[in-house]
Structure 1
């Protein structure tokens, strides 16, 4: 009888241990479903995709069709990716909140009207968000004189007011009038410029667009995209002075986001060219980020 009691006690404790192990496995599995895998520093890999124009024209390195864009979002949806906003990234680096298990960020440069007329409805269809970074002079000078044409028009301030109300769009800066690939090389520091001269030029341009945002929309963006990817170390303190918490480059390599807010300066992005299948593009942009 004593022997029988010991066997029953052994079986009871074994069953209890097995139940604890099973519960731990279920909790671990559930965590993987909802939260990003992080290391001891709280870091997580973040691919960032860079779009420009989305319209029914022949595809180029900076223009894709609406169908291509829809296929991209369908791919992300089917593979479990969730878009994150600039605000969510900033909060995460400050120790607040968590990242989804497969975070990804979508960005648009230049501020084309088709970002609102064509891309936004597709974003809404898949419940995804994106950042649109505008060029001030395009909005102030070019947009008012051009009709709302999906092919070549830029966003007006009235358009941006509508976008400001959308939960699927955040607005960013792409400089006021330094979007050039000539002698200026975007907002890079030129060899002949002193740091003082460079600071004055860059601050004057970037703060002007921040002021225009404040005047028109009563807000100032926290995210900045370098024109043509031209960067220089001297730009960082200027951009921080102008209130930017995130800066985007055109370098095509993975990003590792930690609980340190400084990691958000100089984030890399993968340009989305046309004439390339969704599978080809995503295998490069996402596979490289997950290595």
Structure 2
């Protein structure tokens, strides 16, 4: 019993260190994309529908950080959006609009959550239900397979299991997306981007193998095939687009903090820009940055 306790204690410390390192890498990526290191951008056209997009990560009852906010802060955001007549839209609605088979509300907003943390189910979903909102949650397959089964459901550090994801799917408010199976790292390869000396053929095979693995698990566990892909750390390369198209992805999410303008052209959904929801600013401050009628 003592050995098992020591194992779980070590596993928790390792996981918490990983999360802290992970968040630091995301911050570095956002700073890079702010400097213009981005290949794909949503159409910047006066004829498009303005679509502000928020990027959340962890929602937990702990001191707020760059990538963790409290449930109270999330509720403040959702209440603000509701009071200012914004309507959360789903990826399906965006796709239908670009294909000319649907319309968007007067003031649409897209809410996204990255990494697939358990608190997205336990703490965020009830608030989305309270304010009649929907959202996208992009999960990392290896987190669900490796970390989630060994860790108890904890609002601070646990990841979603496949059973948890089924609950999200059943809620009717969540669209699950891909965040790669096991490319959510920043070592020799930066996220899922092509390495400098890697041939296009080798890169195509590596990315296709990773993404198709997660698509297969989605099919086997949930009987779905996600059409939304979020780039790990916001690292984007043009060579990835062919693989994403081959696997049926219709929307890609970046970390570039710029406005989006959605047109009747499906191509505008590749390279959706997102504003990271920092934990060190108020709802009013973040909304002034991202909402067109608040600037």
Instruction: Give the TM-score normalised by structure 2.
Output: 0.83
Aligned-residue RMSD, C-alpha: 1.4
- 1:97-246 → structure 2 map (5 Å cutoff): 97-246=102-251
- Deviating beyond 6 angstroms after TM superposition, the runs of 4 or more aligned structure 1 residues are none
Instruction: Give the TM-score normalised by structure 1.
Output: 0.84
Higher relative contact order structure (alpha carbons within 8 Å, sequence separation ≥ 6): 2
For residue 182 of structure 1, report the CA deviation from its aligned partner: 2.1
Match for residue 253 of structure 1? 258
Q: Distance in 1 between matches of 2:123 and 2:189?
A: 32
Alpha carbons of structure 1 residues 206 and 290: separation in structure 2 relative to 1, 3 Å:
farther
Decide which structure has the larger Cα Rg and report it.
Answer: 1
SS at match of 1:109: strand
Q: Distance in 2 between matches of 1:226 and 1:182?
A: 15
Q: Distance in 1 between matches of 2:201 and 2:92?
A: 32
Query: How many pairs are equivalent?
Result: 251
Match for residue 86 of structure 1? 91
Match for residue 284 of structure 2? 279
1:72 has 2:65 as partner: no
Q: Distance in 1 between matches of 2:51 and 2:223?
A: 30
Match for residue 48 of structure 1? 53
**Is 1:77–1:126's contact at 8 Å kept on the other side of the alignment?**
yes
SS at match of 1:67: helix
Q: Distance in 2 between matches of 1:251 and 1:171?
A: 21
Structure 1: gaps (5+ residues): 1-38
